[in-house]
Amino acid sequence: MIDKQKLIKRFESYVTVYTESDPTTNTTPSTERQWDLAHQLVEELKNIGMSDVTIDEHAYVMATLPSNVEGDIPVIGFIAHMDTSPDFTGKDVKPQIVENYDGKDIVLNEEENIILSPDEFKELANYKGQTLITTDGTTLLGADDKAGITEIVSAMEYLINHPEIPHGKIRVCFNPDEEIGLGAHKFDVEKFGAKWAYTLDGSTIGELEYENFNAAGAVVKVKGKMVHPGYAKGILVNSMYIAQDFINSLPRLETPEHTEGREGFFHLYDIKGEVEETVLQYIIRDHDKEQFEARKKVMLDLAKEINAQHGKEVIEIEIKDQYYNMREKVEPMMHIIEIAEEAYKEVGVKPIIKPIRGGTDGAQLSFKGLPCPNIFAGGHNFHGRYEYVPVESMQKAAEVVIKIAELTAKVYQD
């Protein structure tokens, strides 16, 4: 259905644009480079025949595919983000095409001996005989979420070229800054005008997700006192040792590497330390709202306990909620999951309904009044040098988009 070579070319044209976001700038978009892909998408959407193509002052790109049927069909939307993660460089991406994958090791970079191996990444075995797009081992790929953009644009182009497929009005949006948790912050839900939407920001083919972590970020600042170490007895306070006590006092097995499914965690992802001050950056995650609140309390209580031990405030914590579990907003509209599930089946994809161990723009958008479950985009090993995406998974994701549009029209016409 979706032309394979055209899809590959489109995907390559997106991932080779440098769009890494930056959590430190306090601007939207957080990096000027995201405008490059935004403007490229504006032109492409116009060229394929989309209507009402707009770009606002924050680089949110929106467009419309008008309805081709009579009746009161609800407006639906499809959303993907343009930025790539600041966790690993997305500059100078050089995608590599592996045709008819043989199931063996893939040498990403011979010079640096970087190998994508099924011994380490077991799911590779599922894609034997397919076409894979990988990195060259020095950057991430950007399938998160340029695969999603590729699939949406390809699906819209197909619907435009095949007017015999019935569909209602469809809105699409490509937004900045999802990777730093800000993709939905300046998303104009009223302007978008959809009754519900789907993000294409998942991983393995078949994933369909409508519940996610409740999420918060915590900044732990630990204060010390520096004097000459030769005269330090009873005076010097080393903030790094206090920080170590804090780290070791949190539940060691409640971390990402020891949890799965709906199990929550504390994740220490950054440390900057000197004697005078150490700063710890954590994310806190839990699917259960009560457990989520309890995790925040554990950190605050631990800080109080350590401060009491020192007889003064040596630790201060700032915790900010980031997003919540979209399930409570999607469950009253379960027909939008049922439509997607049926679309999967009709294009030959087995639905895998499971919770997201993370978040998408859809979580925040759901709480802004736009229920927004998540569809697979097909990629694996996001945010690193071993990222790859099977082209056949991308084709199927685009087919799912087309079929959702068709089924929505059918359901509401019936």
Q: Model confidence at 181, in pLDDT bands (50, 70, 90)?
A: confident
Rounded to an integer, the average pLDDT of 167-191 is 96
What single string gives the DSSP state of each residue in 210-259? --B-EEEEEEEEEE-B---GGG-TTT-B-HHHHHHHHHHHS-TTSSGGG-
Read off the pLDDT band of 225 (50, 70, 90).
Answer: very high
Where does the pLDDT of residue 1 fall: very low under 50, low under 70, confident under 90, or very high at 90 and above? confident
Strands 352-353 and 207-209: parallel
How many residues appear in the chain?
414
248 — pLDDT class (breaks 50, 70, 90): very high
- Look at residue 377 and tell me whether its pLDDT is greater than 90: yes
CA 143, 145, 146, 149 dihedral sign is positive
Q: Provide CB contacts within 8 A for 397, sequence distance 6+.
A: 147, 148, 151, 200, 205, 375, 376, 377, 378
pLDDT tens for each residue of 256-276: 999 998 999 999 999 999 999
Indicate whether 402 pLDDT > 90.
yes
What homologous superfamily does CATH list for 4-212+325-413? Answer: Zn peptidases (3.40.630.10)
Residue 356 pLDDT greater than 90, yes or no: no
Question: What are the backbone dihedrals phi and psi of residue 2, each rounded to the nearest 5 degrees, phi first?
Answer: -90, 125
Q: What are the tokens at 17?
A: 């644009």
Strand residue runs (E) in 301-393: 315-323, 352-353, 374-376, 388-390
Q: Does domain 214-323 have CATH number 3.40.50.300?
A: no
320 burial type by CB count under 10 A (0-12 exposed, 13-18 middle, 19+ buried):
exposed
Residue 156: its pLDDT value, please?
98
pTM equals 0.89
Active site residue ranges? 83, 178
Does position 411 have pLDDT exceeding 80, yes or no? yes
Q: What local confidence, expressed as pLDDT, does residue 357 receive? A: 86
Averaged pLDDT score across all residues of the chain: 96
pLDDT tens digits for range 278-291? 999 999 999 999 99
Show me where the domains of the chain are located: 4-212+325-413, 214-323
